[in-house]
């Protein structure tokens, strides 16, 4: 066998393995329709089209279709054209980027904010750069932190300690075991998106005070949706001022694209100056920055949208629970239904789509642990009651059809 053949066989074997384990990922081809979210059209592989309702999107509040956002994007597009034309350093900083950063700094009540092309990059770039700024830094990272944080911590070459998920006692043990004079940072999330559970923000801030550590919070699944101005769970709980670095996305509840950190002016300046993931990549298109800024601004006051999302999540959870479906309920907007098997999970998802026009992607390992494969629903303020009815009826009938166990609550 030539080397080239060997490479091809190795690649094919890797794909076959996923098929065998029932966790090969299939992307479905969706056409969103302007102003009509969560309705969309599925372009099937055979060329036909089917109307569907999206139940698994992270456009949590439907802002990706909001007239205020679209108007801002159109305006910037007409004014400036398509791309930014460069990195932030070399011709890619525009008035739109500056305005967005000012909007975000105000949102989180920090001195400054720094925008990246995604929250993935913001996490990776910031966490991998911090040890350059703070030699000897030890990062304490929750074991269920998002891949972007894990990657940033892994690549930074500094020391790391992984604490058991949300286990502040374990975190304390780890902090206490290290040199009291070593610089420290605790990295965690406010909402873990697969179970929808909350991080213990206050307890972690208390530990950070006690051990003189910095705090880094990922509020990606909370910004726009929690707190009186949508700044996240830390704002809701009156803890924003105790967090040193806040990470958020502009691609989920804000409905556009991009990510950021908000922190002190000096911290943002240092990351701006040292992080390759910020320096060596083209900045967001101005129209995207304008749309994101409009969305952030709008959600500072649109509490009704947040309330409606929470109400819809509550109703869906109550109704699924009422039918004995094994849902996880931590009181957030995320509604995971545990199927517990990758093949069943995919089958359910396929049948929901084909037979009921309900689109929910199966979530399998490695996104979640094996045995906890699930359907993860994200009801939004724009999912109408009849859509909710349709979803509940479909789940009821398929659960019976597949003879799946109806369980008590899992949390």
Q: Which residues bind ligand PLP (CB under 6 A)?
A: 118-120, 123, 146, 148, 189, 193, 218, 220-221, 249, 251, 259
CA separation (Å) from 14 to 18, 105, 226, 364, 368? 7, 44, 41, 17, 19
Q: Which is nearer to ligand PLP, 118 or 380 (CB)?
A: 118
Q: Which is nearer to ligand PLP, 155 or 406 (CB)?
A: 155
| Residues paired with residue 296 on neighbouring β-strands, in sequence order | none
Across 4-116, where does the E strand assignment appear? 30-32, 39-43, 49-54, 112-116
H helices within 145-285, ranges in order? 147-155, 168-177, 201-211, 233-236, 265-274, 276-279
Our answer to whether residue 252 is catalytic in this structure is yes
Beta carbons within 8 Å of 236's beta carbon, 6+ residues apart: 226, 227, 228
327: its two tokens: 């849902």
Q: Which is nearer to ligand PLP, 284 or 395 (CB)?
A: 284
Q: Which is nearer to ligand PLP, 218 or 329 (CB)?
A: 218
Q: What does DSSP assign to residue 282?
A: B
Q: How far is the CB of 117 from ligand PLP (least distance, A)?
A: 8
Q: How far is the CB of 198 from ligand PLP (least distance, A)?
A: 13
Beta carbons within 8 Å of 210's beta carbon, 6+ residues apart: 175
Rounded CA-CA distance 394/187 in Å is 40
Q: Are 52 and 41 in contact (CB under 8 A)?
A: yes
Q: How far is the CB of 394 from ligand PLP (least distance, A)?
A: 26
Single out the residue of 23, 37, 44, 18 nearest to residue 361, CA to CA: 23
Q: Which of 110, 252, 308, 346 is catalytic?
A: 252
Question: In what helix (H) or strand (E) does residue 295 lie, and over which residues does it extend?
Answer: helix 286-299
Q: How far is the CB of 386 from ligand PLP (least distance, A)?
A: 29
Beta carbons within 8 Å of 66's beta carbon, 6+ residues apart: 255, 295, 298
Q: How far is the CB of 222 from ligand PLP (least distance, A)?
A: 10
Across 118-195, where does the E strand assignment appear? 138-142, 159-163, 184-189, 191-192
Q: How far is the CB of 44 from ligand PLP (least distance, A)?
A: 26
Q: Which is nearer to ligand PLP, 162 or 182 (CB)?
A: 162
Q: Which is nearer to ligand PLP, 373 or 388 (CB)?
A: 373
Catalytic center residues: 252
């Amino acid at each position: 066998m030539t080397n080239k053949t060997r490479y091809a066989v190795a690649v094919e074997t890797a794909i076959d393995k996923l098929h065998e384990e029932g966790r090969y990922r299939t992307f479905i081809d969706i056409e969103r329709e302007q102003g009509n979210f969560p309705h969309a059209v599925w372009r099937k592989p055979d060329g036909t089209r089917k109307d569907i309702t999206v139940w698994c999107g992270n456009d949590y509040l439907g802002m990706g279709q909001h007239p205020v956002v679209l108007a801002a994007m159109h305006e910037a597009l007409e004014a400036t054209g398509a791309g930014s034309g460069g990195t932030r350093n070399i011709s890619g900083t525009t008035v739109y980027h500056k305005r967005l950063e000012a909007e975000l700094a105000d949102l989180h009540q920090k001195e400054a904010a720094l925008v990246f092309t995604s929250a993935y990059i913001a996490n990776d770039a910031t966490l991998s750069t911090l040890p350059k700024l703070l030699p000897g830094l030890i990062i304490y990272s929750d074991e269920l932190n998002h891949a972007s944080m894990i990657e940033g911590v892994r690549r930074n070459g500094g020391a790391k300690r992984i604490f058991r998920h949300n286990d502040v006692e374990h975190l304390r043990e780890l902090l206490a075991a290290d040199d009291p004079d070593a610089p420290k940072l605790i990295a965690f999330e406010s909402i873990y998106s697969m179970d929808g559970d909350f991080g213990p923000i206050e307890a972690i801030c208390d530990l950070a005070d006690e051990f003189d550590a910095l705090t880094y919070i990922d509020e990606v699944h909370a910004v726009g949706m929690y707190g009186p101005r949508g700044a996240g769970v830390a704002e809701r709980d009156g803890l924003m001022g105790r967090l040193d670095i806040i990470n958020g996305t502009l691609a989920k509840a804000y409905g556009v694209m991009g990510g950021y950190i908000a922190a002190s002016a000096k911290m943002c300046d240092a990351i701006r100056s040292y992080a390759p993931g910020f320096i060596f990549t083209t900045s967001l298109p101005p129209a995207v920055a304008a749309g994101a800024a409009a969305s952030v601004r709008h959600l500072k006051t649109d509490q009704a949208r947040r309330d409606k999302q929470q109400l819809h999540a509550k109703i869906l959870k109550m109704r699924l629970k009422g039918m004995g479906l094994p849902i996880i309920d931590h009181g957030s907007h995320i509604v995971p239904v545990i199927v517990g098997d990758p093949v069943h999970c995919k089958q359910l998802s396929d049948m929901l789509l084909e037979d009921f026009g309900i689109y929910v992607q199966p979530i399998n390992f490695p996104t979640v642990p094996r045995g906890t494969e699930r359907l993860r629903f994200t009801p939004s303020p724009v999912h109408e009651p009849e859509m909710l009815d349709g979803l509940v009826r479909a789940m009821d009938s398929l659960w019976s059809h597949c003879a799946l166990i109806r369980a008590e609550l899992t949390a």
